Amino acid sequence: MEQVPWYSIDDLSRLDTPALVVYPDRVKQNIARLISTVGDISRLRPHVKTSKSREAAHLLLEAGIQKFKCATIAEAEMLAMIGAPDVLLAYQPNTTKIHRLIDLIKTYPETRFSCLVDNQDTAQALSDQAVAAGLVVPVYIDLNVGMNRTGIAPGEAVLTLYAELEKWPGVQPVGLHAYDGQLRNPDIAARTAECDAGFWPVQLLSETLAAKGHGKPIIVAGGSPSFPIHAKRPEVECSPGTFIYWDKGYQTILPEQAFLPAALVVARVISLPTSSRICVDLGHKSVAAEGDLVQRVTFLNAPELKAAGQSEEHLVLEAGEGHSYKVGDVLYGLPNHICPTVALYERAYTIEDGTITGEWRTIARDRTIAV
């Protein structure tokens, strides 16, 4: 008897497409693999940018994870709504965002919120508003370890900023944040060498701060590509995010990580425009439209299909002469990049034992929930 593929959905008549679907059993397996890789669960600070849902984050809480990382105020609020004890806003708040962070801290006093800073002006503004609200905000200095996106290079400027932060009554320096998302070499040995070279100045900086009497800073480092490398450093908190759903992109360039694809986009054939091409309902608004067209999605039940064109609501695929596809056929797509794909959907339908069992709202895809 032919085995039914893990992704198959029995009651497809209930599923309008394009649709985002999530397989909770696989999500739980990915969480278990994450924990087993790092060993000490207290060293995990997963990023919630991928799922942006309370339900997925709650599974992390149920597994014993207490620390979280996020990029937006909405993601931080979503975590506070489910009772997350420790939330790092891995973003430097400016102007209005400082007001919102202060409001969030006051609204959810049971959650310990912290954020990033990389300059004195922002830190001073944050301190002033925190003092006015009767608060002290824990902060991490954002380090530039080669991505050249935000942060300051490890060195004397960090020591100076750390000392300044200790003088301001509304902020409390607690650690260093080092995101090395530029490390994407498929060769784990080469990636490890690059990661170690980038981390060495961070380690030296940490030791220098401790030697100068500032206390030993918490180090939050890495993302998905460098996770297995930083997982071996006992002094580092690791913050991968994509692991929870995984995707084709990381499946390809991170072969050493055994996470399972746990979220797909489901599409239907809607037209047969030529004798060799088919059109499905998976446009720019339904799967992340970044990178090369032919790499944006891989159909698990039709891997031979190649993208030939895409617009807002349509994806044209080359199927070859004499193909057997019909209007109404269902395709199960694994996105190359799941994080921005999830943000295109207001909900993900949960699939268990081939059945649609419910939905997870992508509540934090909005910039504002309440605060």
Would residue 1 count as lying in a domain?
A: no
Beta pairing partners, 267: 331
Mean of pLDDT values over 158-185: 97
Mean of pLDDT values over 351-363: 98
The answer on pLDDT for 361 being more than 80 is yes
Mean of pLDDT values over 32-39: 97
Assess whether 158 and 284 both reside in one domain: no
Would residue 4 count as lying in a domain?
A: no
Would residue 5 count as lying in a domain?
A: no
Question: Which of 186, 215, 247 represents a domain boundary (last residue)?
Answer: 247
Number of domains the chain contains: 2
CA 366 to chain centre: 15
* Residue whose C-alpha is closest to residue 337's, from 230, 229, 253, 227: 253
What six digits make up the tokens of 318?
A: 């080359």
Would residue 271 count as lying in a domain?
A: yes
| Predicted local confidence at residue 2, as pLDDT | 66
Would residue 47 count as lying in a domain?
A: yes
Assess whether 337 and 240 both reside in one domain: no
The answer on pLDDT for 1 being more than 60 is no
Assess whether 182 and 142 both reside in one domain: yes
DSSP code of 14? G
| Predicted local confidence at residue 306, as pLDDT | 97
pLDDT tens-digit readout, 217-243 = 999 999 999 999 999 999 999 999 999
Q: Which residues contact 296 (CB under 8 A, 6 or more apart)?
A: 287, 288, 289, 290, 307, 310, 335, 336
Cα distances (Å, whole numbers) of residue 352 to 21, 55, 214, 260, 363 = 10, 15, 50, 15, 21
| Predicted local confidence at residue 292, as pLDDT | 95
* Residue whose C-alpha is closest to residue 27's, from 78, 70, 63, 64: 63
Assess whether 270 and 240 both reside in one domain: no
Question: Which of 188, 214, 247 represents a domain boundary (last residue)?
Answer: 247
Assess whether 269 and 241 both reside in one domain: no
Assess whether 29 and 152 both reside in one domain: yes
pLDDT tens-digit readout, 271-290 = 999 999 999 999 999 999 99
What six digits make up the tokens of 299?
A: 């159909």
The enclosing domain of 281 has a CATH number of 2.40.37.20
Would residue 104 count as lying in a domain?
A: yes
| Predicted local confidence at residue 3, as pLDDT | 86
Task: State how far the Cα of 68 lies from the Cα of 79, in Å rounded to an integer.
Answer: 8
Domain range for 126: 24-247
Q: Is 286 in a helix, a strand, or coil? A: coil
Cα distances (Å, whole numbers) of residue 128 to 100, 124, 252, 295, 332 = 14, 6, 47, 48, 52
Task: State how far the Cα of 203 lies from the Cα of 180, in Å rounded to an integer.
Answer: 14
pLDDT tens-digit readout, 87-142 = 999 999 999 999 999 999 999 999 999 999 999 999 999 999 999 999 999 999 99
Mean of pLDDT values over 27-51: 97
Contact criterion met (CB below 8 Å) for 53 and 75: no
The enclosing domain of 115 has a CATH number of 3.20.20.10
Would residue 210 count as lying in a domain?
A: yes
Would residue 46 count as lying in a domain?
A: yes
Contact criterion met (CB below 8 Å) for 177 and 47: no
